[in-house]
């Protein structure tokens, strides 16, 4: 009995200690660590590559298109048309950065795979949604839907002559102002992301100034070009339409290495360069079409006087297409007809053109990473300069392209 009286307090004390040992203690809350965000954390990288062959079923190896694709015609073979790597991002709430070099630029038909700058610009926003923004740097000039549409998204392998003759590589050094409400900016983005072949966000209203000598060329006169564009995408009965009107004006100077010896030019080799264009796009849901037409004046070679003169120009195209979804694959059959009568100021002697061309093709997307295009071209082209006199070429060819997106 006495031993029990001695052991009971000891057992009770041990039990109490064990119970206290099993009760977890609350951890002290740690002070939140603020993660430092660097501007480069918001940068992203993407790109695409285009691999072509243009010689199948060719009927005339003298048929060429310098601005379209330098591997057309004689001595053309397997060809890297584009190899783009793009660095971009919203580096602060109101500053957007975009850099795009091309590692497959062709200096000439005999000098290929040069790295050359395509885009290098910043967008500076003036409000929290960046509805009002200023773009500074080298970028596409807001003139025409097809010029603004990326080659990564375009169905025909090359842009049409009548619109693309305005600019070499579609770009120039510029200061441009863009405005679009938040909901329209979202629509521009979705038209690309949803695979509807959109042009991207170049605003509802865009205007500004640019050098006028085209991309990667120095300014050669004291006159800046002025450009303006108004567009308005809207949805009606399940289809999305986008009409636009645009124009630019300025002075273009023919560089000394741009003209043949003996060709006559103005005293200062400077010429009026101005155009206006109308566009109408119906996005493929599933049927779609594009129509663009432009008129203007610009430098053009005149073989009668062997001189470069300001002449009228005009031309446009119409394209129909269809989007066919097959499980995870997408097919885009399309057809385009174009005409152009005018000069190309950035080619030798402001080369004179008269183009009539029909193309029919099919784009096959087995997945979002890989695309194949087969396009049959029926072409009638007159392209003349001091060295190419009375040069009219007609012919047909089957063109193939594989494109990888990453």
Instruction: Identify the band that residue 395 occupies on the pLDDT scale cut at 50, 70 and 90.
Output: very high
d(CA 289, CA 306): 40
- Which pLDDT does position 26 carry in this prediction? 59
E-only strand ranges, 77-180: 79-92, 95-105, 114-125, 132-140, 171-179
The number of residues in the chain equals 406
Instruction: Identify the band that residue 2 occupies on the pLDDT scale cut at 50, 70 and 90.
Output: very low
pLDDT digits (tens, 9 = 90+) for 317-361: 999 999 999 988 999 999 999 999 999 999 999 999 999 999 999
Give phi and psi for 307, each to the nearest 5: -145, 165
* Measured CA distances, 228 to 202, 299, 361 (Å): 11, 21, 33
Instruction: Identify the band that residue 106 occupies on the pLDDT scale cut at 50, 70 and 90.
Output: confident
Instruction: Identify the band that residue 6 occupies on the pLDDT scale cut at 50, 70 and 90.
Output: very low
CATH T-level assignment (fold) for domain 38-405? Porin (2.40.160)
Mean pLDDT to the nearest integer, 69-93: 94
Q: What are the extents of the domains in the chain?
A: 38-405
At 3, which helix (H) or strand (E)?
helix 2-22
Give the residue with greater pLDDT, 15 vs 305: 305
- Which pLDDT does position 27 carry in this prediction? 61
Instruction: Identify the band that residue 11 occupies on the pLDDT scale cut at 50, 70 and 90.
Output: very low
Mean pLDDT to the nearest integer, 95-100: 98
- Which pLDDT does position 34 carry in this prediction? 63
Return all residues near 68 (Cβ < 8 A) that are at least 6 apart. Answer: 157, 158, 159, 161
Q: Has residue 16 got a pLDDT over 50?
A: no
- Which pLDDT does position 36 carry in this prediction? 73
Q: Has residue 365 got a pLDDT over 90?
A: yes
pLDDT digits (tens, 9 = 90+) for 67-76: 999 899 999 9
- Which pLDDT does position 113 carry in this prediction? 87
Q: Is the pTM of this model over 0.95?
A: no
């Amino acid at each position: 009995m006495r031993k029990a009286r001695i052991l009971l307090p000891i057992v009770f004390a041990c039990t109490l200690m064990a119970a206290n040992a099993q009760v977890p203690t609350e951890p002290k809350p740690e002070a939140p660590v603020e993660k430092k965000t660097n501007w480069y954390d918001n940068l992203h990288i993407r790109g695409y590559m285009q691999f072509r062959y243009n010689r199948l079923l060719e009927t005339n190896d003298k048929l060429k298109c310098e601005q379209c694709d330098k591997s057309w015609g004689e001595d053309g073979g397997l060809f890297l048309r584009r190899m783009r790597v793009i660095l971009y991002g919203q580096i602060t709430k109101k500053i957007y950065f975009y850099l795009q070099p091309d590692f497959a630029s062709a200096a000439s038909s005999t000098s290929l795979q040069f790295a050359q700058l395509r885009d290098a610009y910043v967008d500076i926003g003036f409000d929290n949604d960046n509805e009002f923004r200023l773009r500074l740097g080298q970028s596409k000039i807001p003139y025409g839907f097809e010029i603004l549409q990326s080659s990564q998204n375009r169905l025909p392998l090359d842009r049409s002559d009548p619109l693309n003759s305005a600019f070499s590589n579609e770009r120039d050094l510029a200061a441009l102002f863009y405005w679009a409400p938040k909901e329209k900016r979202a629509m521009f983005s979705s038209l690309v992301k949803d695979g509807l072949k959109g042009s991207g966000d170049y605003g509802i209203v865009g205007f500004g100034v640019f050098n006028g000598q085209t991309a990667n060329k120095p300014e050669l006169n004291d006159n800046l070009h002025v450009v303006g564009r108004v567009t308005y995408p809207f949805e009606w009965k399940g289809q999305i339409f986008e009409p636009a009107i645009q124009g630019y004006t300025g002075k273009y100077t023919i560089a000394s290495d741009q003209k043949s010896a003996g060709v006559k030019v103005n005293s200062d080799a400077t010429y009026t360069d101005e155009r206006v264009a109308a566009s109408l796009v119906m996005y493929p849901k599933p049927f779609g079409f594009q129509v663009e037409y432009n008129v203007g004046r610009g430098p053009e070679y005149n073989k009668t006087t062997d001189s470069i003169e300001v002449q009228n120009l005009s031309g446009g195209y119409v394209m129909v297409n269809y989007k066919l979804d097959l499980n995870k694959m997408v097919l885009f059959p399309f057809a385009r007809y174009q005409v152009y009568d005018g000069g190309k100021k950035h080619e030798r002697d402001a080369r004179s053109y008269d183009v009539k061309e029909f193309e029919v093709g099919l784009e096959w997307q087995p997945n979002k990473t890989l695309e194949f295009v087969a396009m049959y071209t029926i072409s009638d082209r007159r392209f003349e300069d001091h060295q190419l006199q009375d040069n009219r070429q007609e012919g047909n060819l089957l063109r193939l392209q594989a494109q990888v997106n990453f």
